[in-house]
Amino acid sequence: MAASYPSGTPPGVDCSLYVDDFLIRCRSKHIHIIERHRQQCLNKLYDWVETNGFKFSSTKTVCIHFCKLRKQHPDPCLFLNGSSIPVVDEAKFQGVIFDNKLSLLPHIRQLKNKCTKALNLLCVLAHTTWVANQETLLHLYRSLIRSKLDYGYVLYGSAPRLYLRMLDPIQNHALRCAYVWELSEHLLLQAYVLQ
């Protein structure tokens, strides 16, 4: 069924379908060309959706205009079934937050917040009263923090180094917490030998 989604898109328009997320990309120096080509594609897509019994989510259907121009320029006006599609500054697609300047800073900030929560859990378990072993702490680090950092790195890894450095303290602190068991045991042995 998914392979039969509408073909024959206008020139310069690319479409991608992944599970239930559909993406329409168009590139041009002129906004009126983008509007016309995308609107043609949206009309074909809406007809196909109606024919095959699918629905568009009105809350998830958004338009984001990627542009690095500093001067004011109009955003595209697109419609789906007579309703205007909102133009937003940020949109989440496949778990990665894209902003209209493609800086990926909103995604990195959200990633830092998510990893900080997981880091707090790891540090609690690494505390001397819990005494979780190093192997367990490393498994927790890989599953709770490293997996979040790895997901989408192909995309957000191209962000400026200044933004990526925001994530360094989290990884460093997580590794310190994961290895604290080994360090504290080593220090206890040294203290015992000195007595």
**pLDDT single digits (tens) 123-174:** 888 876 766 777 888 888 889 998 999 998 888 888 889 999 999 888 888 8
Q: How far apart are the two ends of the chain, measured CA to CA in Å?
A: 75
| The CA-based dihedral angle spanning residues 161, 27, 46, 64, taken in that order and rounded to the nearest 10 degrees | 40
pLDDT tens digits, one per residue of 34-86: 888 888 888 888 888 888 888 888 788 999 988 877 777 788 889 988 889 99
Residue 188: which domain range? 105-194
Neighbours of 107 (CB within 10 A): 21
pLDDT tens digits, one per residue of 87-116: 999 999 888 999 988 889 999 999 999 999
Neighbours of 24 (CB within 10 A): 16
Same domain membership, residue 80 and residue 115: no
Query: By three-state DSSP, how is residue 66 classified?
Result: coil
| Integer Cα distance of 170 and 53 in angstroms | 46
pTM: 0.77
**Residue 97 covered by a domain:** no
Nearest to 144 by CA among 126, 127, 131: 126
Q: What confidence score (pLDDT) does residue 4 get? A: 60
Q: What confidence score (pLDDT) does residue 189 get? A: 44
**Residue 98 covered by a domain:** no
Same domain membership, residue 116 and residue 182: yes
Query: At which of 60, 88, 116 does a domain end?
Result: 88
Residue burial 57-81, b: 16+ Cβ < 10 Å; e: rest: eeeeeebbeeeeeeeeeeebebebe
Query: At which of 88, 123, 152 does a domain end?
Result: 88
